[in-house]
Structure 1
Amino acid sequence: MKIYAPTIPVCQLDENNYFVGMTTADLDPLEGNGHYLIPGFCIEADEPKFKAGYIAQWTGDSWQYIEDHRSEVVYSKETGQEIKISEPGELPKTVTTTPCPDYFHHWSEKENKWIMSPEAEAQKQQQIDNERKARINTLLSVAAEKIAAYQDMLDFSDTEEERQEAEKGLLAWRKYRAALLKYQKGLISDMPSKPEE
């Protein structure tokens, strides 16, 4: 009498016949001829070989390997927006794996990369200049407030210690404001650091 194993390995598939993993089928206790109870969405077949970037799909008699980009992040060539891939298969021609640097860039199919037009470069530079000016103006306003406050402290100091403290703060903030103005005019290349208080 032939002895049958109590279980056998079987391949588990999803609804599209893509390989999910391995499980087991139990020997049918009512049949004595080696019949196994194969679970739903399972097949008796050798486990497919692992191939990075691919998923195995059962064709009915063998495994075929389909590109699988579901774990990758890709970007729309039209908008630069991030897109999640939800189905196995080749990447659509409308996406790239290279992120768009910023909204000033557009995709060039000819060069196969993100590029900037001369107009976009000028717009980007204008935006950088505007942001720089706004930041400097904000810092100049802060410096003016600090200078006024230290000047008041100096004018109305009651002790020598208060006067020295006010003079020290006033000098530090006036130097800082002067450095900011030089930076604004391009006379120095590094943004000055705020005085410590």
Structure 2
Amino acid sequence: MFQMSDKAQTIRVYNLRADTLEFIGAGDAYIPPHTGLPAHCTEIEPPDAGEYTAVIFRNGKWVVAEDYRGVKLYSTESGQVVHVNTPGPLPENITISEPSSVWDRWDGEKWVFDEAAERDNLAAEAEKQRADEMRLIEREITLLLRAEKHGIASEEDLERLEELERLSVGLQKLL
């Protein structure tokens, strides 16, 4: 334990981050006579930190705490990447396990593939594609009908108009 002295001394200190009190490095500190330790340090040597841990100085002793800062984490609600900014255990809705697809859902322990979500999304994409195709066909039909109305449609235009109208009817039947 540090003892104040009437003589200058150089001692090994372990520096703490001011806001979290976690160990950030060691060094030698010059202590002038009749003074104490510099702020945010201790002379007590910290234990080694393992993976996903931080060593924090609390109430005069070192505590090893979970630490997931800088680790790629995932929301169990959305599968999106999330970040934590302070040491501590993971919140309930966060996992270190990465989903393997956008269709994975968290079952409380692991990611599982959600076939229904994939199927629903594929159906919605197909419907959007069909609606987009219908808009393009209807726009071209409108232009060809105007050309026919004004007597400026070529034989090729009229054949294309017939083809597009059949296609439009066919796509409508898919509803």
TM-score (norm 1): 0.52
Secondary structure, in 3 states, of the residue corresponding to 1:71?
Answer: coil
- CA RMSD in angstroms comes to 4.7
Alignment of 1:74-89 (within 5 A): 74-89=73-88
Are residues 1:12 and 2:11 paired?
no
Q: Residue type matched to 1:122 in 2?
A: R
What does residue 92 of structure 1 align with? 91
Take 1:16 and 1:100, find their aligned partners in 2: how far apart are those partners? 34
Are residues 1:24 and 2:28 paired?
yes
What's the CA shift for 1:93?
A: 1.8
What does residue 121 of structure 2 align with? 124
Q: Residue type matched to 2:47 in 1?
A: P
Point out where structure 2 has 5 or more consecutive residues left out of the alignment: 1-6, 134-175
Alignment of 1:27-66 (within 5 A): 27-28=31-32, 31=33, 37-59=36-58, 60-61=60-61, 63-66=62-65
What's the CA shift for 1:100?
A: 6.4
Ranges of 4+ aligned residues in structure 1 off by more than 3 Å: 127-134
Native 8 Å contact 1:22 1:47 kept in 2: no
What does residue 185 of structure 1 align with? none
Take 1:115 and 1:108, find their aligned partners in 2: how far apart are those partners? 10
Point out where structure 1 has 5 or more consecutive residues left out of the alignment: 137-197
C-alpha spacing 1:131/1:22, structure 2 compared with 1 (3 Å): farther
Take 1:127 and 1:114, find their aligned partners in 2: how far apart are those partners? 22
Instruction: Report percent identity of matched pairs.
Output: 26
Take 1:48 and 1:36, find their aligned partners in 2: how far apart are those partners? 27
Q: How many residues align?
A: 157
Secondary structure, in 3 states, of the residue corresponding to 1:64?
Answer: strand
TM-score (norm 2): 0.58
Alignment of 1:164-183 (within 5 A): none
C-alpha spacing 1:36/1:9, structure 2 compared with 1 (3 Å): farther
